[in-house]
């Protein structure tokens, strides 16, 4: 369907992993908006849904296929895969199988697509670890809450200073080390805020300050991300996103929709993905 704008990488697809050991932070929603933005720019995209229980991203895409077929629409479509965890053998055997399955799938897709996006479950699974190690870009959505920040670092309750790293950032550090040893690759880790509310100014500012401090210590790039908006969730049954509005008939654009489009566009720019800026400039 897409002509495929060539990325600047010549050794295969750029791998984007969306991860956070917490359910409900907006991984699948952000993932879908990123996928459709890439497709809209003419890139070819494959997705791997590792959350085989919820399959939110794969379901979003199924809804998109059904909706396009029912309404005779020609919508951009990624190649979608769901990879469940292995369930047979000893723990070590299952891990070995998981690693093999994911690396084989990535290997098969790597030369076919510009981007591979992997959506992780909201828990620490071995498959998710292998995905993190394979990432060129890791995107972690966090909500405006210290419960979410706690997965990145422990924060002093009085001063809001960062005291030590938490489970998830340690896992990413491990992934970075293993990756460097494996192929000297680096992982560009982007922490994006999601569901930022228009209210609660004090809490919002504190979360912002802590994430801002943390980005130097933990070596991620902290970007504004997406606000809390109905439009990010209401199109799921149709499999659409705001990015499709031009393609999908007469949708009325409100001010919030326009702001949302700008947020998504800004997020895509902030990700600094291989080939994105060139393709974006060509599309202007
Ligand atoms: N920016 C947003 N604005 C409004 N609702 C959102 C936003 N991001 C996610 N949601 C909603 O929050 C819930 C959890 O999002 P989801 O993407 O499934 O998270 P995860 O994949 O991290 O578990 C869903 O109901 C989703 O529609
Ligand atoms: Mg999800």
Assess if residue 6 is contained within a domain.
no
* Ligand 1 atom at shortest distance from the alpha carbon of 57: 21
CA 28 to ligand 2 centroid distance, Å: 4
Assess if residue 49 is contained within a domain.
yes
Q: Are 102 and 95 in contact (CB under 8 A)?
A: no
Assess if residue 156 is contained within a domain.
yes
| Ligand 1 close to Cβ of residue 229 (< 6 A) | yes
Which residue lies with its CA nearest to atom 26 of ligand 1?
Answer: 233
CA distance 153 to 218: 9
CA 96 to ligand 1 centroid distance, Å: 32
* Both tokens assigned to 184: 């000297």
pLDDT at 137: 98
Q: Are 168 and 151 in contact (CB under 8 A)?
A: yes
Assess if residue 9 is contained within a domain.
no
Number of structural domains in the chain: 1
Assess if residue 5 is contained within a domain.
no
CA distance 109 to 119: 15
Assess if residue 88 is contained within a domain.
yes
**Cβ neighbours of residue 117 under 8 Å, at least 6 residues apart?**
15, 16, 17, 18, 31, 34, 35, 38, 45, 46, 47, 48, 78
Give the residue, out of 23, 24, 240, 263, with the most ligand 1 atoms within 8 A of its beta carbon, to mutate for a pocket test: 24
Q: For residue 170, count CB atoms less than 10 angstroms from its CB and return exposed for 0-12, middle for 13-18, buried for 19 or more.
A: middle
* Ligand 1 atom at shortest distance from the alpha carbon of 31: 17
**Cβ neighbours of residue 256 under 8 Å, at least 6 residues apart?**
229, 230, 231
Assess if residue 193 is contained within a domain.
yes
pLDDT in tens, the chain (284 residues): 344 444 444 469 999 999 999 999 999 999 999 999 999 999 999 999 999 999 999 999 999 999 999 999 999 999 999 999 999 999 999 999 999 999 999 999 999 999 999 999 999 999 999 999 999 999 999 998 889 999 999 988 888 788 899 999 999 999 999 999 999 999 999 999 999 988 778 888 889 999 998 998 889 999 999 999 999 999 999 999 999 987 555 567 888 899 999 999 999 999 999 889 887 777 77
CA distance 142 to 220: 13
Q: The CATH number of the domain where 220 resides is what? A: 3.40.50.300
| Ligand 1 close to Cβ of residue 84 (< 6 A) | no
Domain of 168 in residue numbering reads as: 14-277
Assess if residue 273 is contained within a domain.
yes
């Amino acid at each position: 369907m897409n002509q495929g704008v060539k990325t600047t990488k010549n050794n295969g697809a750029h791998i984007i992993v969306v991860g956070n050991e917490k359910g409900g932070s907006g991984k699948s929603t952000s993932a879908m908006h990123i996928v459709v933005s890439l497709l809209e720019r003419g890139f070819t995209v494959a997705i791997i849904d590792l959350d085989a229980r919820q399959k939110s991203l794969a379901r979003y895409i199924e809804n998109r296929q059904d909706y396009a077929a029912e309404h005779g629409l020609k919508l951009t479509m990624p190649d979608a895969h769901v990879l469940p965890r292995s369930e047979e053998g000893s723990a070590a055997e299952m891990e070995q199988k998981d690693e093999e399955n994911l690396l084989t799938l990535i290997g098969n897709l790597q030369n076919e697509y510009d981007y591979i996006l992997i959506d992780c479950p909201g828990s620490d699974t071995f498959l998710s670890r292998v995905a993190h190690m394979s990432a060129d870009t890791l995107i972690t959505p966090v909500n405006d809450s210290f419960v979410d920040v706690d997965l990145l670092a422990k924060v002093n309750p009085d001063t809001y200073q960062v005291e030590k790293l938490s489970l998830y950032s340690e896992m990413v550090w491990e992934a970075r080390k293993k990756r460097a040893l494996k192929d000297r690759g680096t992982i560009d880790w982007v922490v994006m805020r999601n569901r930022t509310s228009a209210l609660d100014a004090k809490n919002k500012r504190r979360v912002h300050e802590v994430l801002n401090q943390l980005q130097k210590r933990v070596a991620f790039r902290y970007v504004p991300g997406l606000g809390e908006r109905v439009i990010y969730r209401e199109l799921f049954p149709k499999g659409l996103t705001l990015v499709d509005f031009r393609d999908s008939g007469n949708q009325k654009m409100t001010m919030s929709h326009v702001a949302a489009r700008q947020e998504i566009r800004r997020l895509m720019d902030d990700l600094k993905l291989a080939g994105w800026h060139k393709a974006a400039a060509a599309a202007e």
